[in-house]
Structure 1
């Protein structure tokens, strides 16, 4: 029941300053490194009568990368640039100001990948992975067990500041049901830029989800109200993450491995837009 009220959802991870297309990815169990990214023009994506099944299968199918690129999305480049330019300003705020942007209830512990598939430990994971609101730097751990000092993260729900006021849900799903923490005085423009881009990514994700459901309905029976699109429409727990990478010479040793940047992790939901 709760999973229907607060289903998995798309998250927007914003990292690179130059990207002409919005990329949406879906979790894949395996992929071929020789396959190229599939691109769909936004005008085609908006057309609900368009048959995009071949491109969806090519991108999200068993031989795809799990990535689809949506080109020519109106306003995307502008709002993405606006938000990314706020990253350095956020990261360089005074330390006492950034401490006020931290979620006091957050905590983190690295868990072996195999545990992620143990259904009996899902409730435990919900309590352990809780850096999902506000500012975080130097507290989350990488696969190596070391603290992540290379990047700072700002998390927020781009659609709803308070997804629920029901205390039982907040306690059971703190990573999803908590409230946003905005720097209203120190960086007031962050909220508008974050929400505008997040809403745009969600809207594009919904269009793609519609076509994914059309594709899936050819191979399986889908009841009314089910499917990816309706899951996203009814979700109240969308998640956005703004990443800022600190200068490498200040934070990254020359011999650092790939796990120093990004280790094993699970995305928040069905679609991830960048």
Structure 2
């Protein structure tokens, strides 16, 4: 890894591996240790992705702006209160660390893997965990044509790559951890119907700053510092869109929604993803547009008996008044074990996740 300080920002380039290395089981253990180990940032970049990835990313992240700018009556149809708003559209339902409801961003949640036999098992064993068991909610084709297909296609690609990262972790764990079950993490990533995708839209900041965008004294107010509680979180790079210059509204005569022009860099250089390093530094990391990143979660830390550490991270928004009506769109796919899979000797994932949620709230 290399790092430098730019003003008050410390930036660092995460470890990267090629997709071909992962496919051929040639990822060095040293790279995994540097990416996920005790002294790491807990993040790995995967480069040289399939040719269609770049277009698929731009298409889906453009949909994030189109979706968030739908009329409120359309968005209300996409809400699912029974799943605690963890399926479909969610905005203003979660709280930030200061206790205010989060209206800074909108989210569209989807369960990307729906294997019928596993889905039935989850519903039968855990009928009250609707956030994992609810059916997906989709806008009509007349509202957002092509949205469902693009969302599913990009999630499938990310999960397929996550499975290869998991296989590399399995190889490492089988050699380094006594009693580790060979192939367990790859199995979890490939088969789980608990995996959750979250398409995010950070709304443009307001000049008054009442939207909660960050200040020097409260850098993580937009998305408070947290740990993911799954195994591996797949992330696209963020897409910044000038919604003032390119309004994300649909012409009803359009059969398909055009991809929105993407800004080369955010107008606020401090905006982006930050990680709390093991040494106590706050590090800004960037994901190249043609790559995916994978972060470590708490379930992975437990499954690997602490060999791979979960990463504390947060998102810093664009400061008010910088750059006009700029939105930030991104996608996170949280690969999580099936609810009945064991995370440690005493807990299945349902119990493990419930404990984390209760601890954090």
TM-score past 0.5 threshold: yes
CA distance in 1: counterparts of 2:87 and 2:128, whole angstroms: 16
Contact persistence 2:92–2:103 (CA under 8 A): yes
Contact persistence 1:169–1:177 (CA under 8 A): no
Give unpaired runs (5+ residues) of structure 1. 1-32, 107-129
Change (3 A) 1:99 1:51: closer
CA distance in 1: counterparts of 2:97 and 2:44, whole angstroms: 28
- Measured against aligned partners, the alpha-carbon deviations of 1:4-44 in whole angstroms (never above 9, x if no partner) come to xxxxxxxxxxxxxxxxxxxxxxxxxxxxx886410001111
Q: 1:131 aligns with which of 69, 81, 85?
A: 85
Which structure has greater strand proportion? 2
Does 1:159 find its partner at 2:113?
A: yes
Q: 2:172 aligns with which of 195, 200, 215?
A: 215
Q: 1:93 aligns with which of 70, 74, 88?
A: 70
- Measured against aligned partners, the alpha-carbon deviations of 1:62-88 in whole angstroms (never above 9, x if no partner) come to 011000000111122221111001011
Residue equivalent to 2:17: 40
Residue equivalent to 1:229: 186
Cα distance, 1:164 vs. partner? 2.1
CA distance in 1: counterparts of 2:105 and 2:11, whole angstroms: 30
The two structures have a TM-score, normalised by structure 1, of: 0.72
Structure with the bigger RCO (C-alpha within 8 Å, sep 6+) is: 1
Does 1:72 find its partner at 2:48?
A: yes
Contact persistence 1:40–1:70 (CA under 8 A): yes
Give the secondary-structure state (helix, strand or coil) at the position aligned to 1:56. helix
Give unpaired runs (5+ residues) of structure 2. 1-9, 236-361
Residue equivalent to 2:222: 261
Aligned-residue CA RMSD (Å): 2.4
- Measured against aligned partners, the alpha-carbon deviations of 1:154-211 in whole angstroms (never above 9, x if no partner) come to 0001232876245444533222122110102411311111110000000000011111
Residue equivalent to 1:177: 133
Does 1:272 find its partner at 2:248?
A: no
Change (3 A) 1:63 1:225: closer
How many equivalent residue pairs?
Answer: 218
Change (3 A) 1:55 1:172: same
Contact persistence 2:16–2:47 (CA under 8 A): yes
Give the secondary-structure state (helix, strand or coil) at the position aligned to 1:140. coil
- Measured against aligned partners, the alpha-carbon deviations of 1:244-264 in whole angstroms (never above 9, x if no partner) come to 111101762567533430124
Q: 1:238 aligns with which of 195, 211, 219?
A: 195
The two structures have a TM-score, normalised by structure 2, of: 0.56
Change (3 A) 1:94 1:45: same
CA distance in 1: counterparts of 2:112 and 2:213, whole angstroms: 36
CA distance in 2: counterparts of 1:83 and 1:35, whole angstroms: 27
Does 1:252 find its partner at 2:228?
A: no
